[in-house]
Structure formats: structure tokens, C-alpha cells
Amino acid sequence: MRSRTAQEIWDAALGELQLQVSRANYRTWLEKTKGLSYQENQLVLSVPNTFVAEYLDKNLRSLIEKTLMGITQSEVRVGFTVDSLSSAVEAKPGQSVNLPAVIPQSGNASRLNPKYTFDTFVVSKCNRMAFAAACSAADKPGVSSYNPLYIYGGVGLGKTHLLNAIGNAAVTKGMHVIAVSAEQFTNEFVTTAIRERKAEEFRSRYRNTDMLLIDDIQFISGKEATEESFFHVFNDLRDADRQIVLTSNCPPHSIPAIEDRLRSRLEWGLSAGIHPPDFETRLAILQAKARKDGVELAPDVLTFIAESIRQNIRELEGSLNRVVAYSRLLQTVVTPALASEALRDISDRHPKSPPAPLLLVEAVAAYFNLGIEDLTGSKRDKQTMLARQIVMYFLREKTELSLASIGRELGGRQPITVSQSHKKISKELADNPEVQQAIQAIQQSLR
């Protein structure tokens, strides 16, 4: 049997990592990486720039090496080399990397994913209305009946795909498009309008665009200053017949802690929901992806995957990647039995309905031998603080609650506190054994 190449090993790892990290993290930090060499249990990866190399080293190294160990059945060290450099740089934990100045992205059409177009979107009864509305908004932007266009649905169902498809269609017509997430909009507002005191410059940039696309708009809820700014941007654009397209995990009336005047504006145009795909849709999605990737799979294999992964299109496509990479590693034909082996730990997680918030809180409280009232109360000893931060991390990762909703669940804490706690635990997962042990034990108890 020939030895496995670095790219084959890394393809298999990416198939698993895509299921373990968020979509945004995968696209930002992992999607453009490549396997360059694999010798003496060291895998060298090619990354776009030193910024990505440092992030992967500090935040994802542990997860990457653990995933590689599961694939190769041996300890694997990972190193990173930047495309523009001639020599490989092995980024060791704690090593300082000299970074170039990081220039904030402009928030224009460069953020659009060129892979997401109307042609690559699989239409079915679960998304037909949203697809038709998106096509209409792209064809005749600014028409009041589709302005704003508000697309809502669960995680991984295609909302971002349609958002990008609208933007890509607009760009081909020469329109100026701003495409950002609600979090990016908030961060830019805080940096430009508040810290640098350039509120008019911020507002001018947004109100002078032809089309504004914002993903996950629910995340501005509870941020009063951001809501106020978006309210005025919204009015400026709609009054000028400029198209606004928004996505969310819920319809406007279900967004918590948002001002009524803003909620009413979100409902002005058309709201279109996307629902979990039925079996025929899941199978069609798999067939389309297999054709696009140039992969030939037997119908019974695609049927098995479509029956195993039911709720999330992103997970569905990631599972196909994983099965194909697994077969290449073993250098064998893909069969339903092999697909079952490749997806064994994923299938074990079904049904996929997320755990209730109370269940998560109870699991963390039990691990730390605390009461729920301790986590929702005012105690600030070291153990209680850590437990509370881990609860916030789990609620952010495993539910679709907004930052504001999580804060309310835990005794009325501010959204910024939830966000900071999530970032802190995410970072410590890479190098803090106490946090690693707690997360693993709590996840096991949830299973």
C-alpha cells in the first residue's frame, strides 16, 4: 500500500474539522490551507499569511493535532509555512510571530464567497419561497415589496448562500455591495463611530452603497448604540430605494431585546423562511456536490449519507467530504459500510436537536458541584466564575440563543460579558488542561 500524501491526510482532517468548528472559523482560518509534506510524524501546512499561522498555532493547534492523531493513529506535530515564504516555519506553542500590519477589510463585495451563486443552490419546497424572493431582490433591487428581504432559518440551511448569491449577482451588474455579518457591523461601529469619533464617516460609507447585506442580524439585539446606528442606515437606504438583505436564525418578531421601531422596519418588506431539507432535497444536494467535486459515488452511498444527516446542509456536505477523504486514506472503494464507519461518531450524535439551555446549565453546575443559583447569582469566587464562563461558552456553541438571551438566562448579565467569556474559554481550550478536562467531561455527561 502506498504511503499517504500530506494532502490526503489533511483532506481527511479538514472533513472532521469542518464539523467541529463554526462555519466562520472554518472559512476564515482553515479553508485555504493545504498539506505540503508529511515526514517523521510532522505535517507541514501551507497557510495564506502569518496572521493565519499565528491564529492556528495559538487557538487550533491542539484540536488539529488531536484530529490528526485520530486519523493517523500516531502522534503528529503540525507546522505552518506561509505561501509567500520559501522556508517552512514551525509555529510552536507560545512562539511569537512577527505580523504585518492588519488592515481592516473594507466590508465591500470582496467579502462575498464566489462559490455561492444561484446556480449552485439546490431548490426544493423547503426553500423555494426564499430562493424566489432572493432572485427577485437581485433582479430588481430596491423594489419596496422585497426591501428589506429578510431570510430566516436554522443553522446551515443556506441563508448565507442566498445572501452571497444576491451580492454576486449585483456585482456582475456593476453595483457597489457591502456584505458584513452583524458582528462585523457592530465591531466597525464601535471602532470607527465611537472610539475614533467618526460617526458621520461610518454612516456615510453605509448609506452610499447600492446594496447592503448583513448576515445574522439577530446579533445586534441588546446593543442599543448599534441598533440606533443601524436604524438610521436602514432608513437612509430604504428612502433611497437601495436594497437591504438580512439573514437571521428567527423571524423578526422572535428576535429578543430589539427595539420595536427597528423590529417593525425588519417586517416592512418580505420575510422568507428556510426549513430543514427533506430526504429528496438532501440527496439532490449530495448529488450536486459530488458532481461539482468530480467524485463518483454509488447511489446507495449517497442515500446512506442523506438518511444519516438530516438537519444541517453544512454538516451534510461536510460528511460527504469526510467519507471521500476516509476512502482515499484507506485506498478503497466507498460503500455504505465504509460511509457508516467514517460517520460513526457523527451519527451517534443524532437526533440533532440542540440540548435545552437548562440542561447545559445543570450539566456544568453538576460538574463543578454547584447549584444553578450559584451560576445565575452574584458569587465571584474562582471556581464559580470559571463555571459561569463555561456555561456561557456552551450556550453560545450549542444553542442558537443570542448574546442578550444568554445573559438573561444567567441572571441578567450583559451581552458583552457573554461574548468575552466565550472568547476566553475558546482560547483556553488550546492550552489550559483544567478547562480542557472540564469541557470534555461535561460533553461526555451531555451525551
pLDDT 10s per residue in the chain (447 long)? 456 788 888 988 888 888 777 777 787 788 889 888 888 888 989 888 777 887 888 888 888 988 888 888 788 889 888 764 433 333 443 333 333 323 233 344 447 888 889 998 888 888 889 999 999 999 999 887 889 999 998 877 889 999 999 999 998 888 999 998 888 888 888 888 888 888 888 888 898 899 999 998 988 888 888 899 999 999 999 999 999 999 998 888 888 778 889 999 999 989 998 888 888 888 888 988 888 888 888 888 888 888 887 767 878 888 888 888 888 877 788 888 888 888 875 554 444 455 678 888 888 988 888 888 888 888 888 889 999 999 999 898 888 788 888 988 888 889 899 989 998 888 887 677 788 878 877 877 776
Q: How do 211-215 and 149-153 pair as beta strands?
A: unpaired
Name the domain boundary from 237, 255, 274. 274
Answer yes or no: do 295 and 184 share one domain. Answer: no
Answer yes or no: do 365 and 432 share one domain. Answer: yes
Angstrom CA distances, 18 to 36, 64, 66, 318, stand at 19, 11, 14, 6
Distance CA 267, CA 151 (A): 11
How many CA atoms are closer than 13 Å to the CA of 417, on its beta-carbon side? 17
Angstrom CA distances, 167 to 52, 124, 163, 241, 422, stand at 26, 21, 6, 16, 31
Answer yes or no: do 388 and 263 share one domain. Answer: no
Answer yes or no: do 243 and 364 share one domain. Answer: no
Q: Is residue 104 part of a domain?
A: no
Name the domain boundary from 240, 259, 274. 274
pLDDT digits (tens, 9 = 90+) for 383-416: 899 999 999 998 988 887 888 889 888 888 898 9
Answer yes or no: do 175 and 262 share one domain. Answer: yes
Q: Domain count of the chain?
A: 4
Q: Is residue 127 part of a domain?
A: yes
Angstrom CA distances, 148 to 57, 158, 165, 182, 272, stand at 41, 18, 16, 15, 11
Nearest to 158 by CA among 315, 304, 34, 279: 315
CA 268 to chain centroid, in Å, comes to 28
Answer yes or no: do 337 and 367 share one domain. Answer: no
129: alpha, beta or left, given left = phi > 0 and alpha = psi -120 to 50?
A: alpha
Q: How do 211-215 and 243-248 pair as beta strands?
A: parallel
pLDDT digits (tens, 9 = 90+) for 419-438: 899 988 888 876 777 888 78
The torsion angles phi and psi of 244, rounded to 5 degrees, stand at: -120, 130
Answer yes or no: do 361 and 332 share one domain. Answer: no
Q: Is residue 101 part of a domain?
A: no
pLDDT digits (tens, 9 = 90+) for 334-367: 888 888 888 875 554 444 455 678 888 888 988 8
Answer yes or no: do 391 and 283 share one domain. Answer: no
Q: Is residue 239 part of a domain?
A: yes
The residue segments making up the domain with residue 261 are 109-274
Answer yes or no: do 294 and 384 share one domain. Answer: no
Distance CA 250, CA 217 (A): 10
Nearest to 148 by CA among 66, 214, 54, 55: 214
